[in-house]
């Protein structure tokens, strides 16, 4: 069983989505909220492709025989660039001083898509840092609302510590404590939720910048290569 | 003599504004008030930048600070990177970092001093010194130096390249790296990296010697003018090693008076607040530091290469120490206060940096992996380092949740604020008083500023071409005359 992605035949197993089959076959489709260990979410829209002529998120589109998927077209790449620029300008992303720089998926996808500026007017939202947990820093300035921490905490850690609240532009990450402070939750340093944040919103304290430039995830190779050939 | 800081009767005086003089990570301007006979009544160097780092670092996690604050500067980010790291070493309880970490930081720092000094002298100041302050602007720039003095220009480029390589290898990037972290460093260097730098050392040491010879030659050729230009007597301040040696990475605070007598010595960095006070004046965003014991009027001081070389007892590397002694001999044992002598001192420090780098590269500790230290947490950290342009103080308060609650930065340009103001007043008295404004005159004022701090020479932007607008207004503020240099950009 195969479908085509930009003219390439992509084999797939029943139940796989387009992005899963594409990545398994060594073809990168940019994405942020998709994570192989969790149910597809379809919220960031960065994996949008043209599927049989209609735009669709490839992480939620089941692979099926004969699908014609277009990913690296100028039109689709432009949509992705816009989406990533929206994310950069809706939050406070200061890459030069961010400890996740070089390991950040948002930054890496930005580079992959040729994003050189935020383009849109930055909103500069006021989002205080929550440092109340002794070992974990929550900096929602960088949160892109991918809900990976929400899913990891609920599905793997069984704690449901994180959730999204509000709607539209007011949507934001909250934690499950009456005080609203991370330090009053049951978050433990062994929780899966700490390791899935694609940006620098949930961080282990006192470890920033310990990995030197040159050895960070995306220093040597772009995310398109790292994702499909992680072992290299 | 009139201090020229404040005109007694400003009403009715003509105002000349040199704006922007250029920038120290921002912009400054010089204003001059003249009477009808063009007699000078007031001269001020205003720093009109507002950076705000002290405020927006508040509320951020402390481990972000060494990387964030280095963005203050594009020329000497390593100085901020290391001063912050040194302060935060205390917060993480690393009272002593590992030998490998300290030597790697020193290597990074002396690489930075070397490249910054080369940049300042060869790229920014040598056009004035080689061609003359009044030389046609068409040749008085780094391209002119390349054409007329290709060997000197090449020396500047290659020295800077070497220093930048030292920084790249130790910090990960030539500009704004991440090598130093609170408690140590994040990498050692490899034998291949060490060998790469060692291979460049013979040339670097030779070029450093040639730089000193060039400055000494220039001084010899224009001795009276060099010694008098913008010269103002003041106290001197720097850190020195505990035995009195020159040390640009670590030490205790020492200050001398204008005659060279030691005022204070052995002051621990954490006590800087008892030693130094800062004065605020309504016409500048930059504060005016002074020694508290002497008061604002008499307690101001110079920092930077000229202060350091005369504040220390000796330089702990042989070739630079010989050069220091030769420099001191020309003044007959007197303290040198001439701004142009900064260039000579800077070239001696460049040689010293090359010698220190050579010593460090020969040390096997650089290759070891014992990178981090820690200990009981503290809430306060003060880090002082000698940046290329002078003493740099970083002070942080960190709360129990790891967030910075207070930050105080006193950078070298700030220490030199009063000295630079006095220098341009002296230049205005000597060259402007009663005369017609010319481009060459404006450059005299810039030459005096440049001697203190190349960041004011627009080091990261209009290299060698300070954009200047001079406006002559009458007493009502109406524009009488306007001159623009670098007209394509500013007109």
Average pLDDT over residues A56-66: 97
Cβ–Cβ contact B53 with A under 8 A: no
Test B401 with A208 for CB contact under 8 angstroms.
no
Q: What is the structure's pLDDT at B461? A: 24
Residue count of chain A: 232
Question: In the beta sheet, which residues pair with residue A163?
Answer: A174
Are β-strands B262-267 and B390-398 bridged in parallel, bridged antiparallel, or unpaired?
A: unpaired
CA gap B285, B47 in Å, rounded: 6
CA A43 to chain B, closest CA, distance in angstroms equals 29
Test B176 with A96 for CB contact under 8 angstroms.
yes
CA gap B77, B68 in Å, rounded: 10
CA gap A68, A49 in Å, rounded: 10
pLDDT in tens, B292-325: 999 999 999 999 999 999 999 999 999 999 999 9
Q: What is the structure's pLDDT at A231? A: 58
What angle do helix axes B341-361 and B191-221 make, rounded to 10 degrees?
Answer: 160
CA A191 to chain centre: 18
Q: The domain A2-72 is classified under which CATH number: 3.10.20.740, 3.40.50.2000, 3.40.50.360, 2.30.40.10?
A: 3.10.20.740
Test B181 with A211 for CB contact under 8 angstroms.
no
Average pLDDT over residues A22-30: 97
Contact by Cβ (8 Å): B91, B380:
yes
Query: Three-state SS string across A150-175, please?
Result: HHHHHHHCCCCCEEEECCHHHCEEEE
Query: A149: number of CA atoms within 13 Å, CB side?
Result: 26
What ranges do the domains of chain B cover?
14-50+433-490, 97-231+339-370
Contact by Cβ (8 Å): A16, A29:
no
pLDDT in tens, A129-141: 999 999 999 999 9
When the pLDDT of each residue in chain A is averaged and rounded to a whole number, the result is 96
Q: How many CB atoms lie within 10 A of CB B488?
A: 7
Q: What is the structure's pLDDT at B471? A: 65
Torsion, Cα B242 B245 B249 B253, to 10 degrees, reads 50
Q: What is the structure's pLDDT at B9? A: 82
Residue among A202, A201, A181, A199 nearest A191 (CA) = A202
What ranges do the domains of chain A cover?
2-72, 82-211
Q: What is the structure's pLDDT at B460? A: 25
Q: What is the structure's pLDDT at B426? A: 92
Q: Using a CB-CB distance cutoff of 8 angstroms, which residues of chain B are in contact with residue A96?
A: 67-68, 71, 176
Residue among B325, B303, B305, B306 nearest B314 (CA) = B325
CA gap B127, B106 in Å, rounded: 31
Nearest to A208 among B61, B173, B177 (CB): B61
Which superfamily does CATH assign the domain made up of B97-231+339-370 to?
Cytochrome-c3 Hydrogenase, chain B (1.10.645.10)
CA gap B87, B100 in Å, rounded: 18
Sign for the CA dihedral angle at B450, B454, B460, B464 comes to positive
Q: Which residues of chain B have pLDDT under 70?
A: 1-2, 19-27, 47-51, 453-477, 480-491
Q: What is the structure's pLDDT at B108? A: 98
User: Which of the residues B172, B175, B193, B375 would you substitute to probe the A interface, choosing the one with the greatest number of A C-beta atoms within 10 Å?
Assistant: B172
Cα–Cα distances in Å, from A133 out to A129, A190, B401? 11, 14, 8
CA gap A142, A93 in Å, rounded: 6
Backbone angles phi, psi at A101, to 5 degrees: -55, 135
What strand order describes the sheet that includes B380-387? Answer: B380-387, B390-398, B404-410
CA gap B116, B164 in Å, rounded: 9
Q: How many CB atoms lie within 10 A of CB A185?
A: 22
Q: How many CB atoms lie within 10 A of CB B197?
A: 21
Q: What is the structure's pLDDT at B22? A: 38
Test B61 with A131 for CB contact under 8 angstroms.
yes
What are the CB-based long-range contacts (under 8 Å, 24+) for B429-437? B429/B4, B429/B40, B430/B228, B430/B229, B430/B230, B432/B32, B432/B34, B432/B38, B432/B40, B433/B38, B433/B39, B433/B40, B434/B37, B434/B38, B434/B39, B435/B38, B436/B38, B437/B16, B437/B470, B437/B472, B437/B483
CA gap B133, B157 in Å, rounded: 22
Contact by Cβ (8 Å): A129, A195:
no
Nearest to A213 among B71, B172, B402 (CB): B172
- ipTM of predicted complex: 0.94
Query: Three-state SS string across B185-238, please?
Result: ECCCCCHHHHHHHHHHHHHHHHHHHHHHHHHHHHHHHCHHHHHHCCCCCCEEEE
pLDDT in tens, B76-97: 899 999 999 999 999 999 999 9
> What is A82-211's CATH topology?
Alpha-Beta Plaits (3.30.70)
CA gap B6, A108 in Å, rounded: 55
Test A137 with B186 for CB contact under 8 angstroms.
no
């Amino acid at each position: 069983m195969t479908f085509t992605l930009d003219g390439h035949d992509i084999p797939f197993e029943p139940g796989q989505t387009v992005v899963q089959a594409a990545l398994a076959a060594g073809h990168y489709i940019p994405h942020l909220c998709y994570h192989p260990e969790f149910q597809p979410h379809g919220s960031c829209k960065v994996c949008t492709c043209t599927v049989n002529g209609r735009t669709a998120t490839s992480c939620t589109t089941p692979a099926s025989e004969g699908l014609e998927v277009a990913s690296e077209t100028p039109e689709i790449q432009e949509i992705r660039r816009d989406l990533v620029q929206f994310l950069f300008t809706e939050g406070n992303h200061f890459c030069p001083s961010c400890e996740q720089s070089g390991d950040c998926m948002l930054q890496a996808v930005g580079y992959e898509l040729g994003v050189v500026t935020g383009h849109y007017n930055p909103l500069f939202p006021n989002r205080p840092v929550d440092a109340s947990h002794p070992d974990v820093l929550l900096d929602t300035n960088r949160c892109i609302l991918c809900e990976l921490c929400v899913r990891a905490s609920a599905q793997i850690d069984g704690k449901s510590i994180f959730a999204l609240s509000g709607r539209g532009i007011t949507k934001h990450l909250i934690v499950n404590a009456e005080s609203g402070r991370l330090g009053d939750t049951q978050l433990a340093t062994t929780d899966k939720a700490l390791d899935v944040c694609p940006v620098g919103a949930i961080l282990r304290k006192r470890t920033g910048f310990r990995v030197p430039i040159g050895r960070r995830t995306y220093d040597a190779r772009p995310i398109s290569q790292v994702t499909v050939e992680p072992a290299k | 003599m009139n201090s020229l800081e404040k005109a007694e009767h400003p009403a009715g005086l003509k105002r000349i504004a040199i704006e922007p003089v250029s920038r120290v990570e921002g912009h400054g301007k010089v204003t001059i008030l003249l009477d009808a006979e063009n007699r000078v009544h007031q001269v001020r160097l205003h720093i009109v930048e507002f950076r705000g780092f002290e405020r927006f670092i508040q509320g951020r996690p402390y481990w972000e600070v060494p990387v964030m604050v280095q963005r203050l500067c594009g020329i000497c980010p390593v100085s901020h990177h290391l001063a912050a790291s040194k302060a935060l070493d205390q917060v993480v309880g690393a009272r002593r970092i590992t030998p490998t970490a300290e030597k790697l930081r020193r290597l990074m720092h002396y690489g930075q001093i070397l490249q910054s000094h080369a940049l300042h002298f060869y790229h920014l100041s040598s056009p004035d010194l080689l061609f003359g302050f009044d030389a046609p602007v068409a040749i008085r720039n780094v391209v002119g130096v390349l054409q007329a003095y290709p060997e000197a220009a090449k020396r500047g480029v290659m020295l800077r390249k070497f220093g930048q390589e030292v920084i790249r290898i130790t910090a990960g990037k030539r500009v704004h790296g991440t090598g130093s972290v609170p408690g140590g460093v994040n990498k050692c260097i490899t034998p291949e990296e060490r060998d790469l730098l060692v291979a460049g050392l013979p040339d670097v040491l030779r070029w450093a010697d040639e730089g000193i010879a060039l400055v000494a030659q220039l001084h010899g050729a224009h001795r009276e003018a060099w010694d008098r230009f913008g010269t103002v007597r003041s106290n001197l301040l720097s850190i020195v090693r505990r035995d009195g040696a020159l040390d640009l990475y670590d030490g205790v605070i020492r200050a001398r008076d204008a005659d060279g007598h030691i005022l204070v010595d052995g002051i621990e960095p954490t006590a800087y607040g008892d030693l130094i006070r800062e004065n605020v004046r309504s016409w500048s965003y930059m504060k005016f530091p002074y020694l508290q014991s002497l008061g604002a009027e008499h307690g101001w001081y110079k920092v930077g290469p000229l202060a350091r070389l005369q504040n220390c007892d000796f330089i702990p590397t042989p070739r630079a120490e010989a050069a220091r002694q030769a420099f001191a001999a020309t003044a007959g044992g007197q303290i040198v206060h001439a701004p142009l002598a900064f260039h000579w001192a800077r070239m001696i420090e460049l040689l010293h940096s090359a010698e220190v780098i050579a010593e460090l590269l020969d040390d096997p500790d650089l290759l070891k992996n014992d990178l981090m230290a820690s200990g009981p947490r503290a809430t306060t950290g003060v880090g002082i380092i000698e940046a290329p342009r002078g003493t740099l103080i970083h002070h942080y308060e960190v709360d129990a949740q790891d967030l910075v609650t207070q930050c105080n930065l006193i950078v070298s340009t700030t220490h030199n604020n009063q000295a630079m103001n006095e220098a341009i007043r002296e230049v205005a008295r000597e060259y402007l008083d009663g005369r017609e404004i010319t481009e060459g005159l404006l450059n005299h004022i810039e030459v005096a500023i440049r001697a203190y701090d190349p960041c004011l020479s627009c080091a990261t932007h209009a290299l060698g071409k300070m954009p200047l607008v001079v406006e002559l207004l009458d007493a009502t503020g109406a524009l009488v005359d306007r001159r623009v240099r670098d007209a394509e950009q500013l007109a």
